[in-house]
């Protein structure tokens, strides 16, 4: 099994290109132990980036993460997010401190604005920069920002300090390839792809199932391998059981040929014009 390739961020930190998402975790007490085991299995396999948010299960996902990383915090690159309605300067700081408490740690490696809301970006950035100076976060970024949002961000003082934009990206949601992804790649900004298999909705597509059979893997693994082959992109699929985690990890061992990629382009056409940023 090859080691997971790393992506260097602009602040000098490196992250694995395959991490773990936690959307929908922490919602069912009956599933909690399995979710913790799944995250721990991912850490054992080198998937050391764990993405969560204060929104997920109203803090429940962060509590699951806390259990998973207990005793091994230094092995983990931890990502969380502040909700837009909390993203004033003071609100960003307070939300981060609440997330730190739920996560059982004194620092979050990367803290994101979950999506753009009513609070001015300047206020959110001030909060983020304060948290960096206090050592409570290692760096900050954004999520669900389109190119015009990034332009606005860069007009603000210290806006250029952002490290990452987390967006929806998968075979059926390729709009960012037209403009946002090239913009990020040129600026050495990480793009973090959430829902890289479209929450399973694309997995019965004939092109995916045929390629999966040819490679003797699953359609989900083909879809994930397709995302992971893109330079500058980190994928954060959610897996709530150990077998699913292992399958995600194995997707890194799949090499898609030019012919494979052509088949996927014919089935899931790349964008030919600007598209509104897709969100889930």
pLDDT tens per residue, range 53-66: 999 999 999 999 99
For every residue of 240-267, DSSP letters joined together read SSHHHHHHHHHGGG----HHHHHHHHHH
In this predicted model, what pLDDT tens digit does every residue of 58-102 receive, in sequence order? 999 999 999 999 999 999 999 999 999 999 999 999 999 999 999
Report residue 153's pLDDT band, with 50, 70 and 90 as the boundaries. very high
Instruction: Please say if 56 is a catalytic residue.
Output: yes
The confidence score (pLDDT) of residue 66 equals 98
3-state class (DSSP) for residue 179: coil
The predicted-structure confidence for 101-146, as pLDDT tens digits, reads as follows 999 999 999 999 999 999 999 999 999 999 999 999 999 999 999 9
Q: In the predicted model, what is the mean pLDDT of the chain? A: 97
Domain CATH for 260: 3.20.20.100
**Residues spanned by the domain of 79:** 14-267
Q: Is residue 253 part of a domain?
A: yes
pLDDT at 2: 72
**b/e map 169-184, b = 16+ CB within 10 Å:** bbbbbbbbebbbbebb
- Residue 79 inside a domain? The answer is yes
Query: pLDDT at position 101, please?
Result: 98
Q: Is 198 helix (H, G, I), strand (E, B) or coil?
A: helix
Q: How far apart are CA 259 and CA 233, in angstroms?
A: 22
Average pLDDT over residues 10-36: 96
Taking the C-alpha atoms of residue 38 and residue 242, their distance in angstroms, rounded to an integer, is 5
Q: How far apart are CA 73 and CA 181, in angstroms?
A: 31
Cβ-contact 212, 178 below 8 angstroms: no
* 114 has binding-site annotation: yes
Q: What is the radius of gyration, based on Cα positions, of the chain?
A: 18
Q: Where are the alpha helices (DSSP H) in the chain?
A: 32-44, 60-69, 89-103, 121-133, 147-155, 180-186, 206-215, 219-228, 242-250, 258-267
User: Would 182 be classed as within a structural domain?
Assistant: yes
Contacts of residue 258, Cβ cutoff 8 Å, sequence gap at least 6: none
Is residue 277 assigned to a domain?
no
| pLDDT number for residue 172 | 97
Is 63 part of any domain? yes
Summarize pLDDT for 173-211 with one digit per residue, the tens.
Answer: 999 999 999 999 999 999 999 999 999 999 999 999 999
What is the helix (H) or strand (E) element at residue 14, kind and residue range? strand 14-16
Q: Is residue 166 part of a domain?
A: yes
- Choose, from 56, 77, 111, 162, the residue flagged as catalytic: 56
The pLDDT of residue 274: 96
pLDDT of residue 48: 97
SS3 215: helix
- Residues 109 and 90: their CA atoms lie apart, in Å, by 19
**Number of domains observed in the structure of the chain:** 1
Mean pLDDT (whole number) for 36-60: 97
Q: Is residue 273 part of a domain?
A: no
User: Is 7 within a domain?
Assistant: no
Give the rounded distance of the alpha carbon of 166 from its chain centre. 6
Element (H, E) at 102: helix 89-103
């Amino acid at each position: 099994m090859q080691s997971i390739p790393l992506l260097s961020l602009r602040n000098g930190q490196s992250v694995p290109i395959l991490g773990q998402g936690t959307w929908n975790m922490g919602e069912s007490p009956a599933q909690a132990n399995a979710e913790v085991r799944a995250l721990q299995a991912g850490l054992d396999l080198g998937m050391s980036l764990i993405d969560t948010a204060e929104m997920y299960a109203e803090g429940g996902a962060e509590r699951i993460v806390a259990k998973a990383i207990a005793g091994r915090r230094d092995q983990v690159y931890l990502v969380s997010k502040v909700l837009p309605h909390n993203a004033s300067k003071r609100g960003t700081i307070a939300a981060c401190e609440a997330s730190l408490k739920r996560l059982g740690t004194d620092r979050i490696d990367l803290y994101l604005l979950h999506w753009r809301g009513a609070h001015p970006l300047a206020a959110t950035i001030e909060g983020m920069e304060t948290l960096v100076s206090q050592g409570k976060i290692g760096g900050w970024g954004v999520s669900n920002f389109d190119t015009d949002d990034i332009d606005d961000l860069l007009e603000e003082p210290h806006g250029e300090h952002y490290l990452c934009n987390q967006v929806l990206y998968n075979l059926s949601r390729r709009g960012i390839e037209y403009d946002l992804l090239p913009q990020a790649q040129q600026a050495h900004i990480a793009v973090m792809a959430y829902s890289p298999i479209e929450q399973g909705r694309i997995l019965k597509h004939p092109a995916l199932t045929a390629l999966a059979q040819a490679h003797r893997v699953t359609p989900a693994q083909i879809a994930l391998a397709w995302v992971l082959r893109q330079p500058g992109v980190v994928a954060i699929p959610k897996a709530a059981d150990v077998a699913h985690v292992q399958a995600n990890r194995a997707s890194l061992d799949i090499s898609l040929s030019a012919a494979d990629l052509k088949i996927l382009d014919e089935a899931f056409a790349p964008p030919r014009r600007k598209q509104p940023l897709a969100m889930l």
